[in-house]
Amino acid sequence: MRGDEELLTTATAVRRAISLLERRTRESQTRDLSLPETAVMARLDRNGPDSISGLARWEQITPQAMGATVGGLESRALLHRIPDPDDKRRGLLSLTEAGTELLRAARDDRTKQIARVLADNFTPAEIAEIRRAAPLFERIAQFL
């Protein structure tokens, strides 16, 4: 069926483009955060405090692996633990002020890097087209 082939071709192009963009952005990352650390911090920034097991579920890794990532962030005072008001046996993790600042700076670095690439390599019409397409990529992500 032709419609299915067109959908698969589009899906392949989107996946390749996003993967390449992620890989290149990650390779040029200037802040002292690994990809898993950035993911944890971004998740806490978006969703608020969470437990190690909750973060592990979101990131689809084991709680033990998440514990190692969280431990490194805590040792650098980027995260802190607070008692869970619903279950005193459990701790909830949240960003410290230093963690929030570092995450914001890393995001700003990537945004500025992309802005430079756009300014140096794309026409105003292409930039407008990319801006119009950005919400569509967000919608795709909402359904994955």
Backbone angles phi, psi at 16, to 5 degrees: -65, -45
Place of tokens 């945004």: 111
* Distance from C-alpha of 20 to C-alpha of 23, rounded to nearest angstrom: 5
Q: What is the pLDDT of residues 64-98, one digit of tens each?
A: 999 999 999 999 999 999 998 888 888 999 999 99
Predicted pLDDT at 134:
95
pLDDT reading at 141 higher than 90: no
Q: CA-to-CA distance for 102 and 31, rounded, in angstroms? A: 8
**Residue 61, helix vs strand vs coil:** coil
Report the candidate in 5, 15, 11, 17 with the shortest Cα–Cα distance to residue 130.
Answer: 17
- The tens digit of pLDDT for each residue in 123-140 reads 999 999 999 999 999 999
Q: What is the pTM of this model?
A: 0.75
The model's confidence at residue 40, banded by pLDDT at 50, 70 and 90, is very high
3-state secondary structure of 92: strand
Residues 6+ apart with CB under 8 A from 82: 49, 91, 92, 93, 94
Mean pLDDT confidence for 55-68: 93
Helix or strand or coil: residue 30? coil
